[in-house]
Structure 1
Amino acid sequence: MKAWHTLLLPLLLWVGSEVGVAMTACTTAKFDDTIRCKCTADTLQDPLTMWVCINTHELEFHDGFLYLQDEYLSKMVEVTGQLKLTMERLSFTRVHICGVLLSALLNILPETKIRRLDFTEAKLLQMTQPPSPTQPFPVTTISMEHVTFHPCLLQSLVPPLNIWLLSSLSHLTLRNVTRGLLVGSSDCVSTVMLVNMTELDLSQNSLTDDSVVNVSRCLSSLTQPVGPLVLSALRLSQNQLHMLQELCPLLQTSPNLVELDLSQNDLNYSAVGSSCFGSTGQLKRLNLSRTGILAAEEVVPVGVEVLDLSGNRLQEFRNPPEELKELYLSDNQLSMLPDLVRATRLEVLTLDRNQLTSLSGEASLMMVLERLSVLRAGGNPYTCGCENTKAVFLLRMYHNKVQDWPEAFLCTDPRNNSAPHWLDDLEDFNCDETSSGMGMSADVLLSVLAVVAVTVMLG
C-alpha cells in the first residue's frame, strides 16, 4: 500500500468532518523530549483537526462531553492499527466520558502503545456493552483524581474483566474517587492488583480501618497465596484511619516498602512501636504529619532517612535514627532542641513554629549547622536574653543555610512586656561578664572559629 493510501484510510474511516462544522484546533507543546497535544472534548467529533497530534507522545482531552457516533465505533480498532500511534499517555481532564466510548477505548488500548491513563475531575458513565478484550491490558499506570463513577458502572466490571484491568498495573493513584474505590471492599476481587503493584496512592478516600483489614484478609485468603508484595510506595493520606495496629499485617507482607504516607489521619494514641514499621525492613520515607501523635520515638523505624512529624503535639523528640537525612518537626510543641548529635547525615531540619524560647546547647547547634544545608527555626517564642547571644552569632555565621533568618526570628524581653524585637538585634541588650551572653562574644568567636577550622581541616 502506498504511503498516501495509509494516510487516507484513517481519514476516510475515522469520524470524518461534516460540512459546516467548525474546526477546533488542538495545541501541541514540547517538554524536554516529550511532545504533548491538548484538545477540547468536542474535537473528537472532528478528528481531522487532530492530525497535529499523530506523532505526539501524550494526548489530553479536556472540558466537555466525550462521545463517538455509533457508526464509527466498529472502525476504531482498524484505524488504530493503521495509524501506528506513538502515543504513550492519554489524559482526560474535566470531561464526561460516555459508556460506549469507554468500552471502545478499553477494546482499542491493546492495539496501541499507551501505557498510562490519567483522569482528573472526570465522570465515567455507565457501559451498556462491557468490553471484550482478547489481548492483555497494556496500561501499567492509572491515575484518577476527583473522579466519579456512574453507580452501575462497576456492576459491569465482572471479576474476569476486573482482573484484566488491574493485574498489569504497577502504579495506581485513586485520590478522592467517589463511588469507584476498588480497594478495601468486602469482596477480594480487586486485591489481585496488589500482587504486581509497586506504587499505590489511595489518599483522600475516607478509607477506614476496616478497609485496611479487608485488604489484609483478602491477601491471606487467596487461593494461591502470594509471596511478599513488591509494593515500594503506599500513600494513605487524608483518610479515616485511627489504628496503626490494623495496618501491621499489610506492612508485614510488604518487605520492599520504601515510602509510607499516613499523614492527616487521626492516629492519636495508636502508636504501636517500631516492630510494626520495622517489619518492612527497607522503609526510608515516613510521613506521620498531622496525625495527632504525642510521642514518636517508638513509631520511627531504624534506617528511615526522611521523616515528617510536623503538625503534631510532640513536646520532645529523642534518639533520632542515625541514617536520618531530612527531619520535619514544624508546628509541634517542642520546648528544647532535639539531640541530633547522632544524626550525622542530617541535611534538612525544620523547627519553626514550636515553643522554643532559646537555641541553647551551642556545641550541638554548631555541629548541626555545620552539617545542614537547610534549617528553618523561626516563629518560636524566643526570649531576648543573654542565653541566645551565642546562638544568634551562629545563625549569622550560617545565615545562608537558615531559610527564615532573620525575618521570622522574633523575641520578647522577659523583664518587661514590651513589643517583640528582632532576635538579630540582640546586641542591644546588656549582658555582663557573669552571664553567658555578649560579654563573652570574643571567647565564643575564638572557640567557634577554632572548631570550624579543625572541621575544615578534617574534611
Structure 2
Amino acid sequence: MQIFPSFAVLLLIGHKLPGSFACTVDLARSHCTCSFADLKNFYKFLVCMDASVFEFRDGNFEDLSDISRYTQTLRILAPNLELPIDKIILGNSVLDENFLKMFLDVTQNVKIRELVFEDCIFTGRAEWRSMKGTLPQMRSLQFVNVSSASLTDRGEDFSYLSSWIAQVENFVLTRSQITQIPRSISMHFKDLRVLDLSENGLQDQGVSGSFSDGLFFNLMTLKLRHNNLTSFDVACKALSQLPNLQDSDLSQNNFAMPPSSPCEWPPSTRLLNLSDTGLEHVNAHLLPPSTEVLDLSYNQLSVLDVSLPHLKKVYLSNNRLLSFPSSNNLPDLEILFLDGNRITHFPKDQLQTFKHLSILKADQNPYNCTCSVVNEMKELSNRSLEVQQWPEGYFCDSPSVYKGQQVKEVECSVSEGHKPLFITIISVVIVLVYIVPGEDSLFCFI
C-alpha cells in the first residue's frame, strides 16, 4: 500500500492512542467491520487499512451536518486505501439520499468492484444534477432489503447518473417489495449482464413493463425467484425480448395454469429454473430446445416426455414421477436427479441407454424390493455410474416383509432370485415323470 506523508503522520499518532482501534478485522477474509460511529474517530479505522472488504453498519444520516462530518473523514481515507477494493457494504442504516450522493462523489476515483446496501432505509431527495459526468468506478451494485420513496417519477434524477449506471454489469435488487422497474430507469443499464430481482412483489403486469422491447439488450442472467408471477405466457413473452439471455430463474412463482400458447425462448437459453412453480405438465412448447441445465424439482409432474437434445443436467426431485425419462428424448444427459418421487424400481436396461450418464440421484422413492430389483440396484451401484446417497437413502416400501429396510441390506436366496427359472425346471420334471413310461425311468427322475 502506498502511504502519503501526511497520512503516515496520522498513522503514527494513531498507534500512540490507547484503545483507539474499535473496528474488527477478519484477516482470513480480509474483511473489516465498523460501526459508522467508529468513523467519527479517524484513528479507530487505521487497523483496517489493508483490508479489501469494508462493512459499515448502524448509521443514521438524516441530518445533513452529520453527513458533512463523515465526508471529511472519507476524503482523507479514500486515497490511502489498498486498491482495488473488492466490496463496500453499508448495512442496517437510515441514509438520506444526500449521503449516497456524497459517497459517490468521494469515491469517484476509487476503484470499487462491488457496492452493497443491506437492510437500509433511504430518505429525502438529493439534487443529482451536479453529479452529471462523475464516474464512480464500480461494476456491481446490490440493494438487499431496502426501502425508499417511489421511483416512478425519478427518471430525470437517474439521467444524471446515466454515465455511471451504463457501466454497471451486475445489479441486485432483492427483498425490497418492488413491483416493477420503470422504463425511465431501466433504459440507463446499457451494459447490464446480471439482474437479480428475487423475493420482491413483481406481478405479471410489472414484468411485462420492465422487460419491454429494447431494454437490457446485453442481459445474460435474470433471476425472478419468489415473486408473484402467475402467467407463464406473460413471463415467457417478456424474456423472449432479451436476445442474449442464457440463464433464467423463475422458481417459486405460481405457474399452475397451463400456458395457452407456445413459448419462444431466446435461442441463447442454456439454463432454466422452474422449480416449485406448481407445474403439472410440460411439453415441447413450454421448454427451450437449447436448454443444457433444467430444474423442474418440487412440482407435480407425473411424466417428462419432452425432447431436449442438448440437455446435460435435469433436476426432477420431489415430483410425482412413476418412471425414468426416456434416453431417446435426452441423448446427451449426464446428471439425473429423481429423488423424492414415486419410482418403484431401477430399469437397468433403460439406464444403460443413457450413454453419457455419470451421476444419478434416486433416493427417497418407494422401491418394490423384489429380488430382481434389488440385484439390479446393487449392480448399478457397483458400476462407474455414481449413484448419490447410496445406500443410506434407498429403502424398500414393499413387499411388507422388507418395508423400511435399506435396499442394500435385502438378501435374496438363490431360489428367490431365480424363482421363474426354478418354477420352469420343476414343471418340466413333473411333466417328464408322468409321460416317461416304465418304473425304472420313474426312479431315474426321482
TM-score computed with the length of structure 2 as normaliser: 0.80
Which residue identity lines up with residue 184 of structure 1 in the other structure?
Q
The range that moved more, 256-265 or 92-101, is 92-101
> 1:170 is matched with which residue?
169
Report the CA distance between 1:102 and its aligned residue.
Answer: 2.4
- What are the within-5 Å matches in structure 2 for residues 172-251 of structure 1? 172-178=171-177, 181=178, 184-185=180-181, 187-216=182-211, 219-220=212-213, 226=214, 229-251=217-239
> 1:158 is matched with which residue?
157
> 2:340 is matched with which residue?
353
Tell me, yes or no, if structure 1 residue 375 matches structure 2 residue 360.
Answer: yes
> 2:110 is matched with which residue?
112
> 1:384 is matched with which residue?
369
Report the CA distance between 1:154 and its aligned residue.
Answer: 8.1
What secondary structure does 2:112 align onto?
coil
> 1:322 is matched with which residue?
309
CA distance in 2, matches of 1:300, 1:155: 37
| Structure 1 residues 193 and 434, CA gap change in structure 2 (3 angstroms) | farther
Which residue identity lines up with residue 79 of structure 1 in the other structure?
I
Report the CA distance between 1:344 and its aligned residue.
Answer: 3.9
Tell me, yes or no, if structure 1 residue 295 matches structure 2 residue 295.
Answer: no
> 2:386 is matched with which residue?
401
Which residue identity lines up with residue 412 of structure 2 in the other structure?
D
2:256 to 268, 274, 277: 268
| Structure 1 residues 137 and 157, CA gap change in structure 2 (3 angstroms) | farther
Unaligned runs of at least 5 residues, structure 2: 425-446
What secondary structure does 1:406 align onto?
coil
Report the CA distance between 1:214 and its aligned residue.
Answer: 1.2
> 1:457 is matched with which residue?
none
Which residue identity lines up with residue 208 of structure 2 in the other structure?
V
2:38 to 31, 37, 43: 43
> 2:7 is matched with which residue?
7
Which residue identity lines up with residue 221 of structure 2 in the other structure?
A
What secondary structure does 2:308 align onto?
coil
CA distance in 1, matches of 2:162, 2:384: 56
What secondary structure does 1:158 align onto?
helix
| Structure 1 residues 125 and 228, CA gap change in structure 2 (3 angstroms) | closer
TM-score computed with the length of structure 1 as normaliser: 0.78
What secondary structure does 2:22 align onto?
coil
> 1:413 is matched with which residue?
398
Unaligned runs of at least 5 residues, structure 1: 221-225, 440-459
> 1:425 is matched with which residue?
409
Which residue identity lines up with residue 169 of structure 1 in the other structure?
V
| Structure 1 residues 189 and 39, CA gap change in structure 2 (3 angstroms) | same
Residues 102 and 127, structure 1, Cα contact 8 Å, conserved in 2: no
> 1:313 is matched with which residue?
300
CA distance in 1, matches of 2:116, 2:87: 8
Residue deviations 1:261-291, cap 9 Å, x none?
00011011233566422xx111111000011
Residue deviations 1:270-318, cap 9 Å, x none?
33566422xx111111000011111223222112111100011111112
Report the CA distance between 1:37 and its aligned residue.
Answer: 2.5
Report the CA distance between 1:7 and its aligned residue.
Answer: 1.5
What secondary structure does 1:392 align onto?
helix
Residues 23 and 34, structure 2, Cα contact 8 Å, conserved in 1: yes
Report the CA distance between 1:238 and its aligned residue.
Answer: 0.4
> 2:434 is matched with which residue?
none
Report the CA distance between 1:354 and its aligned residue.
Answer: 0.4
Residue deviations 1:134-167, cap 9 Å, x none?
4134332111222233679986973434645633
What secondary structure does 1:402 align onto?
strand
The range that moved more, 254-263 or 106-115, is 106-115
Larger Rg: 2
| Structure 1 residues 153 and 364, CA gap change in structure 2 (3 angstroms) | closer
CA distance in 2, matches of 1:344, 1:297: 17
What secondary structure does 1:428 align onto?
coil
Report the CA distance between 1:70 and its aligned residue.
Answer: 5.1
Residues 129 and 157, structure 2, Cα contact 8 Å, conserved in 1: no
CA distance in 1, matches of 2:68, 2:303: 69
CA distance in 1, matches of 2:296, 2:21: 53
CA distance in 2, matches of 1:354, 1:206: 31
> 1:140 is matched with which residue?
139
> 2:442 is matched with which residue?
none
Which residue identity lines up with residue 117 of structure 2 in the other structure?
F
> 2:246 is matched with which residue?
258
| Structure 1 residues 250 and 109, CA gap change in structure 2 (3 angstroms) | farther
| Structure 1 residues 71 and 364, CA gap change in structure 2 (3 angstroms) | closer
> 1:103 is matched with which residue?
101
CA distance in 2, matches of 1:22, 1:83: 19
Report the CA distance between 1:41 and its aligned residue.
Answer: 3.0
RMSD of aligned Cα (Å): 3.6
| Structure 1 residues 248 and 343, CA gap change in structure 2 (3 angstroms) | closer
Residues 203 and 236, structure 1, Cα contact 8 Å, conserved in 2: yes
Report the CA distance between 1:379 and its aligned residue.
Answer: 0.9
CA distance in 1, matches of 2:68, 2:243: 51
CA distance in 1, matches of 2:421, 2:360: 24
